[in-house]
Amino acid sequence: MTTLTARALLLDMDGTIVNSDAVVERCWRAWAEEQGLDAAEVMKVVHGRQGYATMAALLPDRPMELNHADNRRMLAAETADVTGVVPIAGAVDFMAALAGLPHALVTSADRGLAEARMGAAGLPMPYVRVTAESVGASKPDPEGFLKGAAHLGFAPEDCVVFEDSEAGIAAGKAAGMRVVGIGPRAAAHAPDVAVADLTRVRVEALPGGGIALHFGG
């Protein structure tokens, strides 16, 4: 059993508390086909970033205005498609355990997409949320996590990030925070703790306002 203590938690959405892999794959495979790219290679880099940043990484010579236009189109398609969007195993109980404790959503999705997916998964939307509209730079830039900590009123070192992707884990580390990796993508990117899903996490409210996170195998 591993235990971390924190004052606040910062939660990524896709792949961390919400399983949206089915719709992400549908939308990005369609985009890859439009661009003449290998869909399998595209899927290796889409997780964790805002869409325009993924497009720029895949097509570095492409004008950014085209990436932003495609990103808007992609967000609309993803927001309208919630088929197969479900909570990550253990997410319902995990989010219930956070009620009344300091936590925030820090996602590369925009506000509409975040609301659609959290609603489809049946998860409560945190009062504090940092979405795509809130930042000037996509993960792996730490801006989103630093803003989340600031909104909650805690120093970065007092926060623990929950993430599933390489870009998200890098962002959490760059923010000076400890990172819990969730799911099969996370373990390869050296989070402080890695677990298969949220059934492996137990949240304990500590006297004085701290949070203890207990991790099973």
Q: Does a cis peptide bond (omega within 30 degrees of 0) precede residue 140?
A: yes
CB 130 within 8 A of CB 105: yes
H or E stretch including 2?
strand 2-6
Identify whether 21 is a catalytic site residue: no
Task: Pick the catalytic residue from 14, 110, 141, 158.
Answer: 14
How many Cβ atoms from other residues are within 10 Å of residue 8's Cβ?
Answer: 24
H or E stretch including 79?
helix 64-80
- Burial of 42 by CB count in 10 Å (0-12 exposed, 13-18 middle, 19+ buried)? buried
Task: Pick the catalytic residue from 12, 70, 141, 164.
Answer: 12
d(CA 95, CA 88): 11
Identify whether 70 is a catalytic site residue: no
d(CA 41, CA 43): 5
How many Cβ atoms from other residues are within 10 Å of residue 86's Cβ?
Answer: 16
CB 79 within 8 A of CB 116: yes
Written as six digits, the tokens of 159 are 């926060």
Active centre residues (catalytic): 12, 14
